Amino acid sequence: MKRADDLKSEVLDLAAAACEQHLAEEDAARLEELVSNNEDLRQLYKLYIEVHAAAERYLPRLVDESEITEKDGHLENEWGRLALQKMISNRSTRQRMPWFATSLAVLLLVGGAWFFAAHNGWFVGDRKPLVIATLTKTAGCSWTEGGAKAIGSRLTLDETISLGAGLVEIEFGNGATVVLEGPATLTLTGDDECYLLDGKLVAKVPKRAIGFAIRIPNAKVVDLGTRFGLHVPEIGVTEVHVFEGDVELTYFDTRTDDQEAIVLHEKEAAQVDTVAFAATVSIADRNGFKFIVKDAADNVPARIQEEDGVVAFEAESFTHSSVVDSSQYVWRIDTASRNQFAEATSRHFVQLTSDDGTQMQFDEFKGEWLEYDFEITSPGTYRLWLLGAATGYGPDGRPGEIVELTELRYRSDAFTGSRAIEPIKTNFNKLIGVWQVGDGVPAGEATVPPFEVGSRHSKQIIPPGARKIFLALHDNFQWTNNVGQVSARLVWQQEKNAVPIRVDDVVVDAKGCIWFAWATDEQLGNPLDGKGPYQESTNQRPLEIEVPKYATTVSISASGIWSHLEKMETFPGAVQIKLHAIKEIGTPIESEHDLVKSQKIALSTGENFQWTPADGQGYALNAGIHRLRLYAATPAVALDKIVMQRASGADPIGPGPPLSILK
């Protein structure tokens, strides 16, 4: 086998060249070719390199075996620790601060990292594969990240459960049980605490386990002997519901580390809004938040009962889950269940309000009639107010089916400067990010590849030295006319499955601009062009977020609605409104008739809007049931409020007649 011998000697020669740093580019290619396709040659190469590597790094051990004794295990342990410590501290002389010396300080300093504080197991010897909980029940589970677990699985410290769907019950050593409903991500961070990154759970905590804590992004719930439910959506408002007993809710502003704690009592609920770092909490009677987790006792879905006896819970909102598509962040209006909206509360919904506190909410309506029935109990003249913003183009950037055009003209002189605008297609309608490394030195590449609004972005490795990330939305053309916003969650982690170092919930304004948002494809290679991630001339800065120290990866998920101009030209935008009286008391009804016939309203971008009949006097309405029909002529219209109000009223949100929404 002369040929084989030739190849072997060729590989050895190339390996020698590699060891002596003499490997030319074509040599490397040849070596790669040889070893990739032949196992013998690969083994040979590896062994050669292993010998070389052993010699260059461990020669003292090889030539004087007595130096390192195998007999004294203790000594060797110490040696190993020292070696490790030395190695880690060496990092400081190279580029970083000593990891172990600063870790505590960093944990205290870095906002969002406070949930680590209960840990003391950072050092070798303290950290063991400690089993802290058991998976006791499963039902209809689909697992993500290959983390399938069976009933009876031992769950260890820092283990993360990534549940795609279904329910699991986890029993902690102290007797606390958690029922988790997927999609959810839960990390076991201690024998009496866990971290819920997203998902829903119900916790039952016996007296002996009082103090059991569940950490959630930017907040923490400590049990005071109770049963409670949590819902942490991937984006949006976290909800805490107390079914029995009390819990303490601690929340804080990640920028200032200011903490606040409140105690929630039985049948109370709280919403924790963590957007833009600062947690704000609103508390209500549990019935005040219908759009939420419902306790197992109230609602045990039959399908779950049949399987493994898991006690389940279900979010009430998901009983009409076809309405909610949180991944797209679009709430489609389901007229069949519109009565549900009368009581729903969520900041993502715009509202139909009345002075008796009932709220009716909706968001986008897309080329379909929306109908709202309401009852007028006291006849009179009413005004209809529409408050909100509407735009000509939807999140897909395309105009909808136009019923009738009302022209809005955007002119290019809104833009400062005279640079020719070169539309690009690549990153259109996407969230894009760019790292800033060091003091104003750009990373040189957009290391957060663009992703579409409404999608989840996989883990990104943070480039070394990155201090900030800039986020902006990318339209095709000119961001200054953009409307809307996108909520994004950035989960900063050190390694896979670790509890996040920090979670940032942020809102990216559509007007933010990264310089390359309108650069040509070629320029994307160096988007910053040495000038920083935005152009001063635009005055539209992208969102700027500090990179937490020691974070090595970041995952970004985002969803939201925004609109933008596709072309700098005339485009239509309109809302068509009809007000019908379908049943007026004392009036025989032959058919629906329009009080207002198909009025088309021009809505300006980003402006609140009020609408009254042409005479400005309002509508004379009898007592009875009336139907308000709204039609968005353009694909995305968002209204903040619809208010029916007596014409005598002055303040559109002030007192008016009772407005009850019929089932």
Partner 1 sequence: MTDNRDYRHEGSNEPDCGRLWVQAEPRIYGFIRSLVPQRVDAEEVLQETASVVWQKFGDFEGGTSFLAWSLQIARYKVLHFRRKQGREALVFGDQFFDAIATESLEESTRLADMHDALAACLAKLSKSDREMFVRRYQTDVTTKTLAKQLDRPATTIYSALHRIRTALVECVRHRLTVEETA
Q: List the interface residues with partner 1, window 25-64 (CB under 8 A).
A: 25, 28-29, 31-32, 35-36, 39, 42, 44-59, 61-63
Q: Is residue 72 within the footprint of partner 1 (CB under 8 A)?
A: no
239 contacts 268 by C-beta, under 8 angstroms: no
Q: Does 441 bind partner 1 (CB under 8 A)?
A: no
Give, as ranges, the residues between 455 and 494 that touch partner 1 (CB under 8 A). 461, 463-464, 494
Residue 102 backbone dihedrals phi, psi, to 5 degrees: -105, -10
Residue 56 Cβ, how far from partner 1 at the closest point, in Å? 5
Q: Which is nearer to partner 1, 23 or 602 (CB)?
A: 23
Q: In the complex, what is the shortest distance from the CB of residue 444 to partner 1, in angstroms, rounded to a whole number?
A: 9
Residue selected from 4, 6, 16, 108 as contacting partner 1 according to rule CB under 8 A: 16
Of the candidate residues 2, 125, 411, 614, the single one contacting partner 1 (CB under 8 A):
125
Q: How far is the CB of 197 from partner 1 (least distance, A)?
A: 17
77 interacts with partner 1 by CB under 8 A: yes
User: Which C-beta is closer to partner 1: that of 206 or that of 380?
Assistant: 206
Q: Which residue number, 306 or 495, has a Cβ lying nearer to partner 1?
A: 495
**# binding residues, partner 1 (CB under 8 A):** 80
The residues near 222 (Cβ < 8 Å, ≥ 6 apart) are 211, 212, 213, 247, 248, 249, 250
Q: Rounded to the nearest whole angstrom, what is the least distance from the CB of residue 8 to partner 1 in the complex? A: 10
Q: Which of 134, 358, 523, 599 binds partner 1 (CB under 8 A)?
A: 134
Q: Does residue 12 belong to the site contacting partner 1 (CB under 8 A)?
A: yes
The residue among 11 and 488 lying less far from partner 1, judged by its C-beta, is: 11
Burial 211-222 (b: 16+ CB within 10 A, else e): ebbbbbbbbbbb
Report, in Å, the least distance between residue 84 CB and partner 1. Answer: 6
CB of 138 to partner 1, least distance (A): 16
Closest among 265, 307, 272, 269 to 286, alpha carbons compared: 269
- The string of DSSP letters for 454-467 reads T-EEEEEEPPTTEE
Do the Cβ atoms of 581 and 626 come closer than 8 Å? yes
Neighbours of 522 (CB within 10 A): 8
Q: Which residues are CB-neighbours of 330 under 8 A, at least 6 positions away?
A: 363, 364, 561
Strand order in the sheet with 660-661: 593-602, 574-584, 624-632, 369-376, 660-661
Q: How far is the C-alpha of 46 from the C-alpha of 36, rounded, in Å?
A: 12
Q: Taking CB under 8 A as the rule, which mask of x and - marks residues 152-191 in contact with partner 1?
A: --x-xxxx-----------x-x-x----------------
Minimum distance of partner 1 from residue 598's CB (angstroms): 58
CA angle, residues 211, 165, 326, in degrees to nearest 5: 90
Residues in region 82-121 near partner 1 by CB under 8 A:
82-84, 87-88, 90-91, 94, 99, 121
Report the site for partner 1 in 497-516 (rule: CB under 8 A).
Answer: 497-498
Three-class HEC string of 178-200? EEEEEEEEEEEEECCEEEEEEEE
Residue with tokens 């509890």: 499
Closer by beta carbon to partner 1, 24 or else 297: 24
Shortest spacing between CB 13 and partner 1, in angstroms: 7
**Least distance in Å: CB of 470 to partner 1?**
20
By CB under 8 A, tell whether 145 contacts partner 1. Answer: no
90 by Cβ neighbours in 10 Å (0-12 / 13-18 / 19+) ranks as exposed
Residue 615 CB neighbours (<10 A): 7
- Residue nearer to partner 1 on the CB measure, 57 or 567: 57
Out of 2, 3, 5, 20, the only residue in the binding site for partner 1 (CB under 8 A) is 20
Residues 518-577 that bind partner 1 (CB under 8 A): 552
CA distances, 451 to each of 12, 492, 505, 556 (Å): 46, 18, 17, 9
User: How is residue 469 written in tokens?
Assistant: 């990330």
Query: Which among 71-79, 230-238, 421-429, 571-579 is the span making contact with partner 1, rule CB under 8 A?
Result: 71-79
Three-state secondary structure call for residue 661: strand
7 binds partner 1 (CB under 8 A): no
Provide the minimum distance between the beta carbon of 95 and partner 1 in the complex, in angstroms, as a whole number: 9
Structure tokens at 466: 């990155």
Q: Among residues 12 and 625, whose Cβ is nearest to partner 1?
A: 12
| Closer of 68 and 408 to partner 1 (Cβ) | 68
Of 412, 419, 431, the closest CA to residue 481 belongs to 412
